[in-house]
Homo-oligomer: A and B are copies of this chain.
Amino acid sequence: MPDQAAVLAANRAFYAVFRRRDFGAMKAIWASRSPLSCIHPGWPPLFGPEDVLGSWQGILSHRETPVIECRDERVVMIGPAQALVVLVEVISGNALAASNVFVREDGEWHIVHHQATPMAEAFVTAGGEAEPEPEPDSGPGRLLH
């Protein structure tokens, strides 16, 4: 399988285990030898398998499975064994802009970093579609960035 397709498959597997709240499978998707980090919406950064996987164990232990859709996934190869996937997550009707960093360990792609940032409602139509061309000055990011 070409690298980009393999990375996209690993990224889809990440959301599939999220959907079915399978912590064992989630653990296997994260890298086992590389340093791990994760930034959940609103949280400070988490580092290392204990804190990162512990956060996912907590998240996946909730009884209600949110509806999770992924849109506009873009895979960027940043090295021969390193890739970045940028996408829009739609979770229970909330849109988040997300990045996932993958590395290849023993021929398989594993996630080493995840970050999700809630998108402002102004950028999401009633149908949840992201608008393509916001004006830099009009976004909520203007205040912070």
Question: What is the interface of chain A, defined by CB distance below 8 A to chain B?
Answer: 34-35, 37, 39-45, 47, 54-55, 57-59, 62, 66, 72, 74, 76, 78-82, 84, 86-88, 91-92, 94-99, 101, 103, 112-113, 115-120, 123, 130-132, 134-137, 139-142, 144-145
Are A91 and B145 closer than 8 Å at their CB atoms?
yes
Are A119 and B78 closer than 8 Å at their CB atoms?
no
Are B84 and A113 closer than 8 Å at their CB atoms?
yes
Contacts of A84 in B (CB 8 A): 37, 101, 112-113
Count this chain's copies in the assembly. Answer: 2
- Measured in the bound complex, the distance between the Cα atoms of B84 and A37 in whole Å is 10
Are B55 and A136 closer than 8 Å at their CB atoms?
yes
Contacts of A132 in B (CB 8 A): 44
Are B76 and A79 closer than 8 Å at their CB atoms?
no
Other-chain residue from B43, B82, B86, B131 in contact with A47 (beta carbon distance below 8 A): B86
Are A136 and B37 closer than 8 Å at their CB atoms?
no
